[in-house]
Amino acid sequence: MTRDHDGPLAEGFAILLGRPLEDFEQDATYAVVHSGDDAADELFRRSFDVGVLARGEIVHPPYPSFPVLGDLLVGWAPDPPLWSIDLGRSFVRAGDPGDGAEIGLPELDTGMTGAEIGRVLAERGWRPKRLRRAYPEIEFRVHTDGTLVGAMRAATGTMGTIGHTGPVPGVEPEWERALAALPAELRDHLSVFCRDENSVRSSGAFYLGAEDPGLLRPAPVVAAWHYGESQAWTAVVRLEAGEWPGAGE
């Protein structure tokens, strides 16, 4: 199934979201963010070109200018290799208040965009490893077109050809029933994102609905998933003009 199946996709997304797509605010920006335990620690443990951060680059798989990214994403979401990541609008915050100030970067206590961090590293000549001492957390911003459909496509890996075929075991019964009305390929693909909490320990995603999975910045959650035993998560959020300052909205 390819991306020309907008009708079934819209129906599938409406099933997951509990209402038709046209019922959502059309003028808002819809963003996708992804985070995982120790992702920031692993990122800043490595050496990389801080100029890529400072310039706020959008990097595309397989991330030749920022190769560490592939290692951080693969394994925690069903389709992360398809994601382009907006490093400039990704967001990093110190683990606890005061941890940023301890390393000479108090701005990190309230959070900084990737571009802001890149500029600090470049201007001060700091190595990325210095930031690990603040026990940071990170939200990677997935590059999308800002629409709800674009965000849902990215979050569910339906930007292009759908790769999964065949029935999916361990799907939550309510979602198994709800998705049954969809074409088989799309039903099976979206079922991967609706597995039960026991099954998702091995693969797939557990659907949280509109529950906040642990955002570093407040925003209305439209849809969210966690992976494994909640070690990583992805969320679709709605942003109004002026929200998430510095994020380019």
pLDDT tens figures, 89-138: 999 999 999 999 999 999 999 999 999 999 999 999 999 999 999 999 99
pLDDT grade, residue 10 (50/70/90)? very high
Percent above pLDDT 70 for the chain? 90
Higher pLDDT, 13 or 228: 13
Closest to 216 measured CA to CA, from 70, 66, 114, 123: 114
pLDDT of residue 247: 45
pLDDT grade, residue 2 (50/70/90)? very low
Residue pLDDT, tens place only, 29-54: 999 999 998 899 999 998 899 999 99
Cβ neighbours of residue 200 closer than 8 Å, sequence gap 6 or more: 170, 206, 226, 227, 228
CA 245/CA 22 separation, integer angstroms: 27
pLDDT at 5 exceeding the cut of 60: no
pLDDT of residue 27: 87
Q: Which of 87-96, 152-161, 216-225 has the lowest mean pLDDT?
A: 152-161
pLDDT grade, residue 167 (50/70/90)? confident
pLDDT at 4 exceeding the cut of 90: no
pLDDT at 222 exceeding the cut of 90: yes
CA 142/CA 149 separation, integer angstroms: 14
Average pLDDT over residues 2-9: 61
Q: Give the Cα-Cα-Cα angle 146, 149, 153 (nearest 5 degrees).
A: 100
* In contact, 159 and 3? CB cutoff 8 Å: yes
* In contact, 213 and 226? CB cutoff 8 Å: yes
pLDDT at 80 exceeding the cut of 80: no
CA 187 to chain centroid:
22
In sign, the C-alpha dihedral spanning 91, 86, 202, 204 is positive
CA 100/CA 110 separation, integer angstroms: 9
* DSSP result, 155-207: HHT-SS-----S--SSB-HHHHHHHTTS-HHHHHHHHGGGB-TTGGGTSS-EE
pLDDT of residue 163: 63
pLDDT at 245 exceeding the cut of 70: no
Average pLDDT over residues 140-165: 89
pLDDT at 228 exceeding the cut of 80: yes
CA 140/CA 58 separation, integer angstroms: 11
